[in-house]
Structure 1
């Protein structure tokens, strides 16, 4: 299980016994035993393995997010229907959100088995198909640029609709079936339509494949589902070890603040190093923002227009964002939805808080999940799949965790 060849393990046992004459078995006996155990374990079936996997996962990862990048022949589609107990386990594993490619079979399975889960298509998968879909077109470079506009650079539905329609008109693409399908499912992949769902920091401009690095060196295209469950143990142990190291760095190191605002010091004191760097960038970028108007909605609420100076391809552009602020409770509503999408307070909100002489960041915008002192349940749960039956002691330990 730790990757040591059998003959080396056998030689170690021989040395420990004091020589071959003191051992009661030969190397062939070891090989036969391992093959027998392997056959028994594989014989239990992939569907039951997945059931055990998700049963464990729901205690460890409830409320987390799951990214799937699956080929058309992936066996997981069939496993969903292979066993009723497996389907039950998957339903109980209440995913908040899931990212896949545009596979129709996966979409149908998710709609049926996870009706309350937000399902999104990987934007990177879609955008990388542009050369394939329009490589023949004489104006392909211009089409690529025109599509990026309504996808990445819109702040409301009207902007998206105008940009998409303009792109179709300009290059006579109204009859393009691929684009028509994307438009019909725009709520599954266009960033604007996904901003109000939390995606655990998985940015739409970032390759979702980077999440798969979690399993690099542990699984490959020939890995069976049963083997995946076993390898998951090793991956988790490795992940926990890296998190312990990151925790140590967070407690022993401190990234200096870039501003004199007390709010930045608040995040510096409680957030992990990596998350504090993200927050810090919002404070740095605040310099490019100005409040251009203020309207009092009522006694409690005021709405501000915050304007950003953007440089795009050496051209300056102005973008406007709305922030509503309730002074008595320090509650904020922002049009960019960065807090809902990534769990990071945005520069627009910081600008408005400072304008209203708020020196301390409201606690509701300091999330527990990014704190350096948070206790992760998965680092305490024993990971052990001995077939599908655990010892009473192991079960008691899991339950206590």
Structure 2
């Protein structure tokens, strides 16, 4: 407790973290007399800086959520506090998102790469696809860090909010914390890595090789064009042998986890057309323009509510178009006529 108080005071006074740590070492009489390292101090300060309870914004957030619940009992929120009763992580979902999850929560995209408000906290939306092929919000979190315990807390909140129903599939990046979390919280959910993020790393990981250009072409062909698992397995062995890549650690790791990202291993599972987290990234784009680094937490939540209303309006418009117009058949096939009756215009 004394060390935390000292670090907090020094941080407020603008003292660098390494100097704060050295002062604690000197006070304790050497490195052997303290039970933490400089990295622990950096992690502690990082969390303190990202805590939400600043300038009354945390209290305003709680009031806003309480008002939303008064308007509709199905509004769900949960708040994670630290030992000093400061807000660290937040999750919420309105009644419409919870209802949509019953129909469209079987496949979810989850991505935390979008930083939004002035607290520099990752915005973590759960994104699905509706019957018009539109991206829909199925709940949202703001988290202070992306370690396993935080992501577990967030996923458990979403799980409770959605009546403890696991999604059939979830698409994320390669984050190790995400893998660990899904194993714990959603043990029966099929976990898929974002294919776009993996293929984006190819230049960085392989550009140093002499035969980089043909190597890149063959790898893409192998990943995207393999019809079945056997084709990929044989092709991978040929590819690795041809370019002498047995020592490439990145490729070895990818091969070990091939069932998470190579399309031919995943095509028998329903993914609602998703192989990447671009649904999440597309959702983030909706907030660009009215969310910036100075946006307060309360303003962000209000803008999020506005965005939900806009998306609901687009869904209503698509519902109306599907109910009142018919896509003409190209042939006289009975199955095509069945599609006319059963599917939306977009699908």
TM-score band, normalised by shorter chain: 0.5 to 0.7
- The aligned counterpart of 1:68 is 110
Contact map agreement 2:169 2:191 (CA 8 A) in 1: yes
Contact map agreement 1:57 1:93 (CA 8 A) in 2: no
RMSD over aligned Cα atoms: 3.5
Q: Secondary structure at the match of 2:171?
A: strand
Distance 1:88 1:119 in 2: 16
Q: Secondary structure at the match of 1:120?
A: strand
- The aligned counterpart of 1:217 is 286
User: Structure 2: any 5+ residue segments left out of the alignment?
Assistant: 1-53, 64-77, 82-88, 115-120, 123-144
Q: Give the TM-score taking structure 1 as reference length.
A: 0.51
- The aligned counterpart of 1:371 is none
Computing the radius of gyration over CA atoms, which structure comes out larger, 1 or 2? 1
Q: Secondary structure at the match of 1:236?
A: helix
Deviations 1:7-37 (A, max 9, x none): xxxxxxxxxxxxxxxxxxxxxxxxxxxx987
- The aligned counterpart of 2:184 is 112
Distance 1:251 1:90 in 2: 31
Distance 1:121 1:155 in 2: 19
Aligned residues: 238
Q: Work out which of the residue numbers 208, 227, 235 in structure 1 matches 2:277.
A: 208
Answer 1 or 2: higher relative contact order, Cα 8 Å, separation at least 6. 2
- Structure 1 position 160, deviation (Å): 1.1
Contact map agreement 1:214 1:235 (CA 8 A) in 2: no
- Structure 1 position 86, deviation (Å): 3.8
1:41 and 2:57 are equivalent in the alignment: no
Distance 2:329 2:158 in 1: 49
1:125 and 2:220 are equivalent in the alignment: no
Superposition map of 1:198-277 within 5 A: 198-202=270-274, 204=275, 208-218=277-287, 230-275=302-347
- The aligned counterpart of 2:35 is none
- Structure 1 position 215, deviation (Å): 3.8
Contact map agreement 2:152 2:185 (CA 8 A) in 1: no
- The aligned counterpart of 1:179 is 251
Superposition map of 1:139-218 within 5 A: 139-202=211-274, 204=275, 208-218=277-287
Q: Secondary structure at the match of 2:93?
A: helix
Distance 2:332 2:320 in 1: 26
Deviations 1:156-178 (A, max 9, x none): 22211100001001111111000
- Structure 1 position 260, deviation (Å): 2.0
Question: Do the aligned partners of residues 191 and 221 (structure 1) sit closer, same or farther apart at CA in structure 2, a change above 3 Å counting?
Answer: farther
Contact map agreement 1:122 1:189 (CA 8 A) in 2: yes
Q: Give the TM-score taking structure 2 as reference length.
A: 0.59
Q: Secondary structure at the match of 1:47?
A: strand
Question: Do the aligned partners of residues 43 and 210 (structure 1) sit closer, same or farther apart at CA in structure 2, a change above 3 Å counting?
Answer: closer
- Structure 1 position 196, deviation (Å): 1.9
Distance 2:55 2:296 in 1: 18
- Structure 1 position 60, deviation (Å): 3.6
- Structure 1 position 146, deviation (Å): 1.3
- The aligned counterpart of 1:288 is none
Deviations 1:304-327 (A, max 9, x none): xxxxxxxxxxxxxxxxxxxxxxxx
